[in-house]
Structures are given as structure tokens and as C-alpha cells.
A and B are shown apart, each in its own frame.
Chain A
Amino acid sequence: MSVPVSWYLILAVALFSVGVFGALTRRSGIAIFLSIELMLNAGNLALVAYSRQLGDHAGQMVVFFALAVAAAEAAVGLALFIAIFRARRTIDVNRINLMRW
């Protein structure tokens, strides 16, 4: 028995919602970043599911590029965390208020 594509979509939406909850509630910068990766992964899953349904490779190509962008984003984001940690000795987002009004 084959699994309907809508199940994959529901799973992707659930993973995305968990990621949104994490990004809004966690206070450690690294944990927020991990939640964002979770959301990215959920988006990838939905794209691959639609690619399967439509029998078109375009969705898979978008996921391929999203993976590369995620790698670049992780490198730059983690470098920013290191720079912030050097300057302020913390990556708790409640205490990084440099750009807050």
C-alpha cells in the first residue's frame, strides 16, 4: 500500500510548527538557530513530496539549492555567534540588546 502524499505534507507542517514554537520561545541563540534549521528541513520535505506528486524534478532541484544555501547560512550564522560571544561573553538573546531601541 502506498502512502498518500498528503501525509507527508501534514508531517512537514507539523515539523514546521514545532520549529516556529522553538524559535519563538528559546533564549539561547544556538537553540533558535537549530529551530530555524528544523523549519528549513520541513520546507524541504514538503517540496520533495510535491515533486513526487507532480512527477516533476523541479521541486528536488529547489531542495538541492536550499541545502547549499543552508550550508552558507549556517557558516555565516555561527561565525556571527562567535563574534558576538567574543564581544559580550554570552549568546543569550535576551542579553544581546545592542540593536534594540
Chain B
Amino acid sequence: MEAAVFAVFAATALGSAIAVVAHRNPVYSTMSLVLTLLSTAVLFVLLGSPFLAALQVLLYTGAILVLFLFVIMLLNVGRERRLPGPVPAQTWVAGIGAVVLFGATARLLLEAQGGRTTAPLSEEFVATRSLAELLFSTYLLPFEVIALLLLVAVVAATWVARRPSADEEKTP
């Protein structure tokens, strides 16, 4: 059962990830990324982390990708035009590089794994309570720093994206 669910959602994640990269229309790319992130959320549940799965759906697909869609519509980004002529060398180099990266890293990880087995999921590991306890004890400082980071990012984003004032526009 678990293997079947894994197979379906791993295939969906990989297929839509390829669609993200292959589509020339940015709206389609974004919607494919939504599909990838949702399948990853299902995989998070399989890995015993329902809290992160919920966060992934709410935060990533719910907030960040809506922001992407807003910006795409705001800027009216069109389809990426195909360059004239044959496939550029950059594409070949990037393709070979990606395949080599995949092969090398997968081999390294598999070797490091070396037939290690995993204990079955325990009730205590899955419970959100244990995460919450960690978050407000061991990881309290990073938690506060993240809050500050988000505040700074919001202020910076509104400042960077504002309409430039009249005298700024005269002196570029």
C-alpha cells in the first residue's frame, strides 16, 4: 500500500517538475510546481510528518505560489520565445551537467546508505506535540530570528517594489 502511494506521488512529482522546466508559459510552469509541491506534501505524510505536509500546502502552495501568480499577471510575462537556430550549447552543457550531478549524488547517497534499515513509525515521532516542544525550547532562538527575518523581508519587499518618486525617476 505504502509503496503504491509512493510510486504514484513520486511519479507525479517528477513529471510535474519536468513540466515546470519544460513549459514556456510561466503560468503553466507555476501550476506544475503547485502539483510537485502537493505530491511532496503527500510524501511528507508518508515519512511521518503531517505537520510539515500541512505547512507545505498552506505556506508554499497557498501563499508563495499565489504571490508568483500575482507577479506573473502584474508584469504580464508572456511565453518565453524560442531562440532561432539549433539548440544552444548551453542547453547541452546544462543537460549533461544535470545528469552527471544526478548520477554522482545518487551513487554517493546510496553508498552512504549501505542497506541501513529504518525503524517503523512510532506514535511519538509523528505527533505534532513533540515538534512544538522542540520549537519552543531547543530552537527558540532560531524561531525568534526567523520572525525578525520575515519582518525585514516584508519591509524590504515593499520598499524595493514601490513606485519610484518623481525626482528619483529623473536621475537614474
Interface set of A (CB-CB < 8 Å, partner B): 1-11, 13-22, 24-28, 30-31, 33-35, 37-38, 41, 44-45, 48-49, 51-53, 55, 57, 60-61, 63-65, 67-76, 78-83, 85-87, 91
Contacts and interface: CB of A to CB of B under 8 A. Distances in A.
Given A17-B102, A31-B29, A76-B157, 5 more contacts: A28-B77, A41-B37, A52-B121, A64-B131, A71-B153
Contacts of B157: 75-76, 78-79
B108 to A, nearest CB: 9
Main secondary structure of the interface of B (DSSP, over half): helix
Interface of B: 1-3, 6, 10, 13-14, 17-18, 20-21, 26, 29-30, 33, 36-37, 40, 43-44, 46-49, 51-52, 55-56, 59-60, 63-64, 67-68, 71-72, 74-75, 77, 80, 90-91, 93-95, 97-99, 101-102, 105-106, 109-110, 113, 116, 118-122, 125, 130-131, 134-135, 139, 142, 146, 149-150, 152-154, 156-158, 160-161, 163-164, 172
A84 to B, nearest CB: 9
B17 A6 contact: no
Contact of B91 (A25, A37, A52, A73): A25
A79 to B, nearest CB: 4
